[in-house]
Amino acid sequence: MSQTNTGAAVTTAEPLLNNEMMLLRSLSTSSCFSKEDEEMTRTVLSAFKAKESEIDKRKMEVRERVQAQLGRVEEETRRLAAIREELESLGDPMRKEVLMIRKKIDSVYKELKPLSYSVQKKQREYKEAVDVFNDKNLEKIQLITKLMELAGESENLRLKKLEELSKSIL
């Protein structure tokens, strides 16, 4: 790219130089210009050529800097692409592990769900059994208390009858 631009600058500069040379020749042949005018024209012309070559030199420097910067940008782009690939490769194993763990969690949850229902059912049955047990235990205590009362009354009656019998025998 820089060669074609440089070539175009050189070919553009050559016709200008040829035109200037022809102007100089025509000026030197014409009698209306003095030697001072010719000398001034030559200095102006050489100053113009110096400025033009300075401009061409600066153009080349700018092109070289732009090319160098483009090269750095391309290198940085390649480095960024490599870093992006590394990041993606790092992310992939983690994603796979996360997916595996999620699947395991789901399967464990599926196994736990019926077990949870079973535990709740067993807890209800246990609570009902404990309530029935407590009710029966309370009923047993009441019956034992009643039995003790009856046994006490029965003994009291037997003692009274025994006393009555013993009084009647004596």
pTM reported for the whole predicted model: 0.37
The whole-number pLDDT of residue 18 equals 60
The whole-number pLDDT of residue 36 equals 82
- CB-CB contact of 38 with 26 (8 Å): no
In a domain, 130, yes or no: no
The whole-number pLDDT of residue 108 equals 94
Dihedral sign for Cα 40, 44, 45, 47, please: positive
In a domain, 164, yes or no: no
The whole-number pLDDT of residue 145 equals 95
- CB-CB contact of 18 with 45 (8 Å): no
Q: What is d(CA 98, CA 105) in angstroms, rounded to the nearest whole number?
A: 10
In a domain, 133, yes or no: no
Residue with token string 């040379």: 21
In a domain, 166, yes or no: no
Q: What is d(CA 113, CA 119) in angstroms, rounded to the nearest whole number?
A: 10
- CB-CB contact of 9 with 56 (8 Å): yes
Q: What is d(CA 23, CA 34) in angstroms, rounded to the nearest whole number?
A: 15
Domain boundaries, position 63: 2-121
The whole-number pLDDT of residue 7 equals 44
In a domain, 144, yes or no: no
> Domain tally for the chain?
1
In a domain, 98, yes or no: yes
b vs e for 83-103, b when ≥16 Cβ sit within 10 Å of the residue's Cβ?
eeeeeeeeeeeeeeeeeeeee
DSSP single-letter state for residue 170 = -
Q: What is d(CA 67, CA 1) in angstroms, rounded to the nearest whole number?
A: 9
What are the tens digits of pLDDT across the range 104-117?
999 999 999 999 99
Dihedral sign for Cα 157, 158, 164, 167, please: negative
In a domain, 46, yes or no: yes
Residue with token string 């009698």: 31
Low-confidence ranges of the chain (pLDDT < 70): 1-33, 91-93
The whole-number pLDDT of residue 135 equals 96
The whole-number pLDDT of residue 3 equals 42
In a domain, 10, yes or no: yes
